[in-house]
Amino acid sequence: MGAAADTAVLGTRDGTPRLCASIPEARVDFIKEAGGFIAVDLRSIAMQGLVASEDLSAIATAKALLYWHSRHRFCANCGAETTNGEAGWRRDCASCGAHHFPRTDPCVIMLAIRGDECVLGRQSRFPPGMWSCLAGFVEPGESLEEAVRRETLEEAGLPTARVRYFASQPWAFPMSMMIGCFAEAASGALKIDEIELEAARWVSRDEARLLLANKHPARQFAPPRIAIAHHLITAFAERGSAVFD
Ligand SMILES: [Zn+2]
């Protein structure tokens, strides 16, 4: 049998409470056989647009919270077993009295730009043909600007100067906050970190438009609209280096 089910309250919609609950793996087939239910993973729900966006964010919250519960069954302070508290938004330790709160991991995702070109990269885990922005976790003690410059230098060997915030996106795979930025590249030579990236290259605004529209002659493409990378690349394709203004 799997671990005990966890639950959390997600607030209300139109006056009706919304709850989420984890289902132990051993019970999934039982529930499917009971009829009236389908099992769909969050990535498919998001990519295929199976629910309205306001429902998608509640489902993403549920996934992040339930994942967090599943990984925090024991107190990080004293090692005793913890219990679900505050309607699923806290874990409590009866042994030492510590309260543990859900965590969000900040992650910068950036588009390095020089004039009418930007840098896109490929990780080996990407679907074949997909090119995206560079990204990485913010380290303790770093500002977002420092994280953008360090990651761009580490992954692509590219120094950057000005950094501009664009937008953010919670990303429940499993519990990150993607912080989208533009970075002004100082020089043109790329030297990739082969552990992090399979490839990186300069892409013109014209080529970026083909990637976004899925009309690239080499059948390459940008991430889908659900991803903040799509919107960073779109802003650059439309406005070029005016994104810094
Ligand atoms: Zn404890």
Tell me how crowded residue 7 is: count the other CB atoms within 10 A of its CB: 15
Ligand 1 center from residue 72 Cα (angstroms):
11
Angle among Cα 21, 80, 140 to the nearest 5 degrees reads: 80
Ligand 1 center from residue 235 Cα (angstroms):
47
- Taking the C-alpha atoms of residue 156 and residue 162, their distance in angstroms, rounded to an integer, is 17
Please check whether residue 45 is in contact with residue 224, taking contact to mean a CB–CB distance below 8 angstroms: no
Q: What is the pLDDT of residues 37-54, one digit of tens each?
A: 777 888 888 878 888 877
Ligand 1 center from residue 73 Cα (angstroms):
11
Ligand 1 center from residue 99 Cα (angstroms):
8
In this prediction, residue 213 carries a pLDDT of: 97
Ligand 1 center from residue 139 Cα (angstroms):
26
The string of DSSP letters for 109-150 reads EEEEEETTEEEEEE-TTSPTTB-B-EEEEPPTT--HHHHHHH
In this prediction, residue 45 carries a pLDDT of: 86
In this prediction, residue 195 carries a pLDDT of: 93
In this prediction, residue 2 carries a pLDDT of: 40
Ligand 1 center from residue 67 Cα (angstroms):
20
Ligand 1 center from residue 100 Cα (angstroms):
9
The residues of the chain scoring below 70 in pLDDT are 1-4
- Taking the C-alpha atoms of residue 46 and residue 50, their distance in angstroms, rounded to an integer, is 7
In this prediction, residue 147 carries a pLDDT of: 98
CB-facing half-sphere around the CA of 14: CA atoms within 13 A: 2
Of 163, 166, 170, nearest in space to 180 by CA: 166
Ligand 1 center from residue 84 Cα (angstroms):
13
Please check whether residue 38 is in contact with residue 32, taking contact to mean a CB–CB distance below 8 angstroms: yes
Ligand 1 center from residue 7 Cα (angstroms):
21
In this prediction, residue 4 carries a pLDDT of: 57
In this prediction, residue 154 carries a pLDDT of: 96
In this prediction, residue 46 carries a pLDDT of: 81
Please check whether residue 174 is in contact with residue 67, taking contact to mean a CB–CB distance below 8 angstroms: yes
Ligand 1 center from residue 81 Cα (angstroms):
8
pTM for the model stands at 0.87
Tokens 């991803």 sit at which residue? 227
